[in-house]
Structure 1
Amino acid sequence: MWQTILLSFSGSLVAGNGLPHFIRGITRRRYPSGLGNGPFPNLVAGWAGLVVRYPALSFASIGVGVLLIGLFHADPGAFGREETSQ
């Protein structure tokens, strides 16, 4: 029983750490990460943290779908590209 508690606790730590990275990635904001500070590295780091929490094969399609929509939001986004002032 203690193994289940320990694994659940450590998995929750990984998922809890992955969530802010994923959110910063899809909102195209910089955030410190081991992979880099831009949207793509944060999206990948956050996505990996969330997927590691649920390693079962049944979550594979969910993980791929979340990654694809996250990549969409990290680059062009739902609102298009930001215009840069000249």
Structure 2
Amino acid sequence: MATLLEWTALYALVCVLVGMGCCALRLLVGPSAHDRVLALDTLWMSGMLLAIVLGIRYGTQVYFEFAMLIGLTGFVSTVALTKFLIRGEIIE
């Protein structure tokens, strides 16, 4: 019999995957580049949440380290894309 934590983790996985699908749809059909950057940033955060929920579900530390790497990479890429959209170049 499944415990409450297993059912909760499964529900969280489904919710995060639905959110990732919505972000992917906005990334593909977004009317402007700013909408696409925002959708990509939200997709990175959803990927990080997915790794955290999987870490809770399976009880291993590897997923939490992977979530930290996803978060750092997502932050740096969002800053680079935003700087490119504002100024037209990344490195001055």
The structure whose Rg is larger is 2
Q: TM-score scaled to structure 2, two decimals?
A: 0.47
More relative contact order, 1 or 2 (CA 8 Å, 6+ apart): 1
